[in-house]
Structure 1
């Protein structure tokens, strides 16, 4: 690459790469300290509300000390999100406690975390603050050993590969004989500490690498969703693949790499934990390490597992969402709804600093007589089941110019058939109570017959449970059915003694 091309690339990165934007910003020093403290040490992601609450006091104190930061934590977080230093990602978490033997309910929520560029900038500053020799023998030994293993594994000639394996076996046999004869001494504390630091330095780059994998997965998911919104044979083939169980997201380079990384960690995790334990128990092996480096060694495997699980959870959530979108065919509608929700959220955030939370509004939302519930409250939800709920498909519209015109009375009748007219029943009860001073359900029905049949009986009984006094007796009620025949039932007697609000 020529000088001009390199300079142009650097200029582009300076204007768009999150790491470069963070390091050249006026608040770089404070940003690195805040983000490193809250999103790069153990805790990798937080909800926006939790992050703002944690940063509020610290940003105020830094501003008093002369650091150039936004006036509030919320606006500072919004600025970091705009620059790509922070990103919003779906996070799959357990949805509360679950009964023993029952499947764990899974909830997907949106949380904020450092982008791969933001994490790289924080790690870069941390290395500057704790410099160590770069050209160390330990790092050179790791590089040369990795090159040797790569050359051996990539060798296509069986004879050359066999010779390499025999040489490796000879080296191992020589080491075994030396240990048997007691001629091998352990590494000096300084050399052991040096190798441990190199391992920690290499492992520190893994979370940033996995963040890039998650970003690549999100980008690949966006490309696959564009195929869903397209029309023609491409989309049909894609949907067919989904129904046949083809994992398009897992077949991307990022998906294959993440799967291989997870398999390798699964195979070696137990041994790695045992190796760390042996290292920490060896006399003098960690004598020259700081307490922070020893703590980092203790949680090394756990941190690798947590970062891998987060990336795998992202791929699982994206895969399931893609499968549901392909099977439901409602992706355009979902995208439109998501856009409206983002617009509403943006408007709410703009007003949050000026409008108190309890400010009354003139908006009134009339609730139906039947309380709305989540589908998961009616049908048990299995998180392992990717199949969507059965679709409710509307009847195809009649061709223009055919059929009778729309009848408003018919539409009102359909609405009454689908919903209990709570206002009508409340008016009937208040009318009878105003005349008599008190009334039961049977007395209300004798004055005002049930216009909705059984639905009116259910509505009156619901009103009585909330606003009437139960006497402990029973009464007979009657109402006309659809065929004109009267139906009868025996209900607990309730007495309305005052108007229903």
Structure 2
């Protein structure tokens, strides 16, 4: 391509791409931060009213630093018009949901990569590339002898590895190599939301193309014949077959359980503790995010396939073709008429318009009698005996027992004098687990001293019997609590 053709192609991309539109927006940092905060998780989708409430709270804080005159609803409408958000009807209740568009996911991914750049050349990436190229060369080779040679060489390598491991020679990755492999996995996991959004957007585009082909084609018989024969054209497309194969792998119980077991084994390694909390959460939820994204895209795929079949079977396409023909006839007649009569010229005709107010069908609320049903009349309950011990146990599960904690603190202060929270726990263990520890810290802040220059280790046993510990700023009780 020449420089001119490339420049024109890039200009069209800049004008049409919502991802580039977001990056060059006036408040791009604000838009990216707000969208990433509330909709950045894989498969995140939120009711519109809930999102408006959260964004309004963010705007109150951001207005101290940035001029933001609109409210959340106004900004969300602008972002939806700009292609940053996608609006869909809520399946569980009346209303709408908002989610990131594929272009917005791409833009957020670009900003994340710029903020935390990753090394482009790593040993694990080069190894994976070499293995992929070698496997591609083997799988596409029609020569049986060469494929057999490759398989025998692979089997020999495996036999040699088994022999070394049996002899006690185990090659374990060092810390640098392990972190490098983990980063590769996390980078691929970070791309999942954009990949799923792109597949969903491609299915929407394919659905529109199929409907347009039925309307615009002079002979839509092939599409109609396939639909009448029960063929789901969307699912049988290249994109649909690729996604169906990917989804089948996730639905395979054996492979899915193997992946979960492997992730659990990786999370038990010591090097994982050095990762950021967000990275560890991404590893723990990897399988769940894969299944959830696959389920959502499969639901969209099924909905489009059923809608296309319903569109044909209900004969709606014939009405739409008749309307298209009428519009085309009107446009064809308007072209020669425009040479003799201007569009704004007054005509000797009166056209009665409907007085019905045009509004969205989403504003219609169907009357539901069950909403006004108060249910059966409540019967008077028979008096029963109350177990005070059971009530006390319920209260201890829902509230912190400050009376017990104050008695423990006073007893330790009387015997030892000034004492820290760790000292109190050493004498009187936390009977309510973490709740007792939180209660002691709050009492120390209210009636003691906080020494921020030194820390101490608090140890307790949780309600599940598992010992736990936490390093906190030292809190000291200097006197009895009245």
Q: Report 1:248-263 matches (<5 A).
A: 248-263=233-248
Distance 1:69 1:121 in 2: 21
Instruction: Identify the match of residue 182 of structure 2 among 196, 201, 209.
Output: 196
Query: Are positions 1:344 and 2:343 aligned together?
Result: no
Q: Which string of whole-angstrom CA distances, capped at 9 and with x for unpartnered residues, describes residues 358-412 of structure 1?
A: xxxxxxxxx9xxx9999xxxxxxxxxxxxxxxxxxxxxxxxxxxxxxxxxxxxxx
Query: Are positions 1:65 and 2:51 aligned together?
Result: no
Distance 1:146 1:37 in 2: 36
Q: Aligned residue for 1:324? A: 310
Q: CA deviation at 1:230?
A: 5.0
SS class of match (1:270): helix
Q: CA deviation at 1:226?
A: 2.1
Q: Report 1:186-265 matches (<5 A).
A: 186-229=172-215, 233-234=219-220, 236-265=221-250
The more displaced of 174-183 and 260-269 is: 260-269
Distance 2:14 2:226 in 1: 41
Q: Aligned residue for 1:87? A: 86
Distance 2:63 2:357 in 1: 31
Q: CA deviation at 1:202?
A: 1.6
Q: CA deviation at 1:244?
A: 1.4
Q: Following TM superposition, where does structure 1 have runs of at least 4 consecutive aligned residues deviating by more than 6 angstroms? A: 332-336, 371-374
Distance 2:313 2:99 in 1: 31
Q: Aligned residue for 2:267? A: 280
Q: Aligned residue for 1:395? A: none
Shift in CA distance, 347/148, structure 1 to aligned 2, threshold 3 Å: closer
Q: Is the 8 A contact 2:43 2:292 kept in 1?
A: no
Instruction: Identify the match of residue 174 of structure 1 among 152, 160, 174.
Output: 160
Unpaired segments ≥5 residues, structure 1: 96-106, 349-366, 375-501
Q: Is the 8 A contact 1:188 1:285 kept in 2?
A: no
Q: Aligned residue for 1:408? A: none
Q: Aligned residue for 2:111? A: 125
Q: Aligned residue for 2:280? A: 294
Q: CA deviation at 1:45?
A: 1.4
CA RMSD of aligned residues (A): 3.2
Q: Which string of whole-angstrom CA distances, capped at 9 and with x for unpartnered residues, describes residues 249-272 of structure 1?
A: 112222122112212333432211
**How many residue pairs get matched?**
335
Shift in CA distance, 160/69, structure 1 to aligned 2, threshold 3 Å: farther
Q: Which string of whole-angstrom CA distances, capped at 9 and with x for unpartnered residues, describes residues 121-175 of structure 1?
A: 1112122222232211122122222222222222221111111111221221121
Q: CA deviation at 1:231?
A: 7.5
Q: CA deviation at 1:59?
A: 2.0
Distance 2:248 2:214 in 1: 30
Q: CA deviation at 1:286?
A: 1.6
Shift in CA distance, 200/216, structure 1 to aligned 2, threshold 3 Å: same
Distance 1:332 1:342 in 2: 28
Q: CA deviation at 1:41?
A: 1.8
Give the TM-score taking structure 2 as reference length.
0.63
Q: CA deviation at 1:15?
A: 1.6
Give the TM-score taking structure 1 as reference length.
0.61
Distance 1:223 1:85 in 2: 22
Q: Report 1:447-458 matches (<5 A).
A: none
SS class of match (2:272): coil
SS class of match (1:87): strand
Q: Report 1:110-189 matches (<5 A).
A: 111-189=97-175
Shift in CA distance, 189/5, structure 1 to aligned 2, threshold 3 Å: same
Q: CA deviation at 1:300?
A: 1.1
Q: Which string of whole-angstrom CA distances, capped at 9 and with x for unpartnered residues, describes residues 60-90 of structure 1?
A: 3213321x54511111111111111112346
Shift in CA distance, 48/170, structure 1 to aligned 2, threshold 3 Å: same
Unpaired segments ≥5 residues, structure 2: 324-353, 371-482
Q: Report 1:465-484 matches (<5 A).
A: none
Q: Is the 8 A contact 1:86 1:115 kept in 2?
A: yes
